[in-house]
Structure 1
């Protein structure tokens, strides 16, 4: 059995998708959480100076989605065919593109609020409607079983809802999907026991 060590800040953020997959699959791992005050001294030892990173039997892997995709394959969360796999990948990448538009590091609070308002007023509805229409009457984004795209949606939903409460109120299928993921026993148990952080 491989030995896994995930290193990220003490928050959900870009480390949470890997944690969801670990929880779903029941894969044991070491969850190393870095405090912001310690980051400056630790950063030089981290490949490319960014978190998360994951060590697998001594090999260090960077990039959050590369880590999550690797784990999703091990956990059987990538779909049941090559087409399902690429469809799940595309949904994850599309959601990730949106998260990259969020001005996380903007220091001017008024400007940050305006940018977030513009994002959720003008761009989010387009993305949400496409995802809502794509779900149709399906239980999951891809095929007939849960994939890592569904897990990522749950994470994105809870993050976006902090920034704009009720942002998905007009999209009942997407809200129902969030609830289905949250009710998966392994995911529900992880959410219950994980450290409480805003993001």
Structure 2
């Protein structure tokens, strides 16, 4: 029996960071994907009627960042000191703040485009300028080793690139970080073999 079961929809979405961590650490897990048509019948059985959920040690853990943080600790990706751990958490939260502004549920396509344009004209450049300055000349966002913040940047970059290709091209350090993360063999294999989805 595999030690972890990660349950989410058949997309990258809010479970992909946890999948990256598990793939990087080469931790076997069951990647259970729920189809949208089946979700109404499953929904009442999950905490807060939301996904993702991680089943581990006979219990359930909900909330995507709580799951990812738990797994990052297991994988040794939280930083090499208490300060680095806090800095990593802060960067993850900063990235997450911007992803939460993506208007996924907006049905008015004109309004949706306006909101996406505002996101990439205002919020995203502010975030990227901060991250580029924070990265500086280092290879990784925190300290001298990769953390789950670097993985989350790769996950966010992939999603943002669907919405606005080339959005990060002026930020050479962050683009180099994308290449650095994507070239890690176990992550490159995950990215190559994962189910295809737009988001």
Scaled by the length of structure 2, the TM-score of the pair is: 0.98
- Matches of 2:122 and 2:91 in 1, distance apart? 20
1:109-148 C-alpha deviation (Å, 9 max, x unpaired): 1110111001101121111101101111000000001000
Unaligned 5+ runs, structure 2: none
Inter-partner Cα distance in structure 2 for 1:109 and 1:182: 33
Between the aligned partners of 2:122 and 2:68, the Cα distance in structure 1 is 29
Q: Determine if contact 2:2/2:30 at 8 Å carries over to the other structure.
A: no
CA distance in 1, matches of 2:158, 2:2: 31
Query: Measured at CA, do residues 97 and 136 of structure 1 come closer, stay the same or move farther in structure 2, by a change above 3 Å?
Result: same
What's the counterpart of residue 98 of structure 1? Answer: 98
RMSD of equivalent CA atoms: 1.0
- What is the TM-score of this pair, normalised by structure 1? 0.98
Q: CA shift at 1:58, angstroms?
A: 1.6
SS in 2 for 1:27: coil
- Aligned-residue offset at 1:2: 7.3
Secondary structure, counterpart of 1:73 in structure 2: helix
Q: List alignment gaps of at least 5 residues for structure 1.
A: none
* CA offsets 1:43-72 (integer angstroms, 9 cap, x no match): 001111000000002200000000000000
- The runs of at least 4 aligned residues of structure 1 exceeding 4 Å deviation read none
Query: What secondary structure is seen at the aligned counterpart in 1 of 2:132?
Result: helix
1:77 corresponds to? 77
Question: How far apart, CA to CA, are the structure 2 residues paired with 1:149 and 1:120?
Answer: 21
